[in-house]
Structure 1
Amino acid sequence: MYEVHLDQFVLQCEITFIEDVQPSPGIDTSDWDAYGYREMEFRVVSGQVYDENGVASDAGRNACAALAEKYAELIEQQLWRLIETERQDVA
């Protein structure tokens, strides 16, 4: 489970599929093989919304679904950053 911050929202996200293929410059069967690629699928499990006083309340399933759709690219970018940070911590 990963925590993603978007403006006044804090979302709990679960990655349901991830593929991170590293580049193989010597392989010329396809650009995907030569340059590598990344794919990810995730779902927003829950979320909190904070008011101007910093008080949290539950965002609800409908709000979480709407945020996941509206900010899918930003959420995915943050998830990749979190994953890369984890990898660096392990190495």
Structure 2
Amino acid sequence: MTYTISIEQYELTVEITDYSPGRAGKYSGPWEDCYPDEPEELEFEVVSGLVYDEDNNVEDLGRNGCASVAEMYAEDIEARLLDRLREDRDDDDYDRGDDRDWEAA
């Protein structure tokens, strides 16, 4: 999946290379059957990027620039991607069509 993320003066095209949704832990029952929460895990790659200056001129970041920006803003990029994934998942849940058994009164 590819997303466009804007951070400060950068516009980045980011590809998600690996995603594991989190899982709630189990805290009741015998201790050997219990396990902690598993957080969401996300890996991404910045495939291209643009930088805008004060005069709104555009310049391509190139591979080294993309790598540098990805390292500098990794946590912010990851947070924004997770938000987008959650929004997409919520939209899919809404549009799934689970109301097919619904009947009018």
Q: Under a length normalisation based on structure 1, what TM-score does the superposition of the two structures give?
A: 0.85
| Offset, 1:53 | 2.1
Misfit runs of 4+, over 4 Å = none
Q: Indicate the RMSD between aligned Cα atoms, in angstroms.
A: 1.4
| Offset, 1:86 | 1.1
Structure 1 counterpart of 2:24, one-letter code? P
* Pairs within 5 Å for 1:45-56: 45-56=47-58
**In 1, Cα distance between the equivalents of 2:22 and 2:65?**
33
Out of 89, 93, 102, the residue aligned to residue 87 of structure 1 is 89
Q: Secondary structure of the equivalent of 1:66?
A: helix
Give the number of the structure whose residues are more often strand, by fraction: 1
CA radius of gyration, larger in: 2
* Pairs within 5 Å for 1:37-52: 37-52=39-54
Unaligned runs of 5+ in 1: none
Bigger relative CO (Cα 8 Å, ≥ 6 apart):
1
Q: Under a length normalisation based on structure 2, what TM-score does the superposition of the two structures give?
A: 0.75
What CA deviation, in whole Å up to 9, does each residue of 1:1-27 have, x standing for no partner? 111111000100001111013214355
Unaligned runs of 5+ in 2: 94-105
